[in-house]
Amino acid sequence: MDKSQKKKYKSDFKTALDTFAEKLRNYVSSDNGDWTVKGFIDVYKNIYTISSDTKIVSKILEIHIFPQILEFAEKIGYKIVIAEKQNWYPDLTFVNKENEKIKFALDIKTTFRRNDKTAGFTLGSHGGYFKERDKDKNIQFAYSQYSGHFCLGIIYTRTDLRIISPIPRYIRYRNYWKQMKFIRLK
């Protein structure tokens, strides 16, 4: 595959990801911005609220949007490979069904606003695979095999926990961002 074909695949993937990210907002949020997930229910029909712990919220968000990601991949002609290990890069690899040499890395990142500012987060450990791009240590496929690297970011706001409600709403309105990853080596 030549450079222009690779560039076209990358551009098409980015455009599709941009459109998908906009649709996610409506999937996880009600019209007034509340998160559509309110808690957990067990087999005895006990309802448990969700805490505002960032690890819990992040994992639930990822689980909540995963069926949508699978549908998105299918719609654009890709299959998904989930990282074999929790600390491997990327979270998800999109592999083109017609040409398995076309792969895109997608990392999912979540963070919350603190005092109307966004709390920080990392883009991952970024092991030696940036320097040794043909190696596959701590990465699903060798870095050089990917046609592009993207992040899907979710920014949410914690609500006032003093609000009285049968099921407290800890999370309100999320912004989604998506961005290609750029790493400069010196």
Q: Compute CA 66 distance to the chain's CA centroid, rounded to the nearest angstrom.
A: 9
Q: For residues 183 and 130, is the Cβ–Cβ distance under 8 A?
A: yes
Which pTM value belongs to this model? Answer: 0.80
Q: For residues 149 and 165, is the Cβ–Cβ distance under 8 A?
A: no
Helix (H, G, I), strand (E, B) or coil at 48: strand
- Which residue is associated with the tokens 């949020």? 29
User: Per-domain residue ranges for the chain?
Assistant: 3-180
Q: Compute CA 93 distance to the chain's CA centroid, rounded to the nearest angstrom.
A: 11
- Cα dist from 16 to 10, 82, 126, 186, whole Å: 10, 20, 26, 32
CATH superfamily entry for domain 3-180 = DNA mismatch repair MutH/Restriction endonuclease, type II (3.40.600.10)
Quick: pLDDT tens for 105-162: 998 888 877 777 666 766 655 556 666 777 777 788 988 899 999 988 887 777 654 4
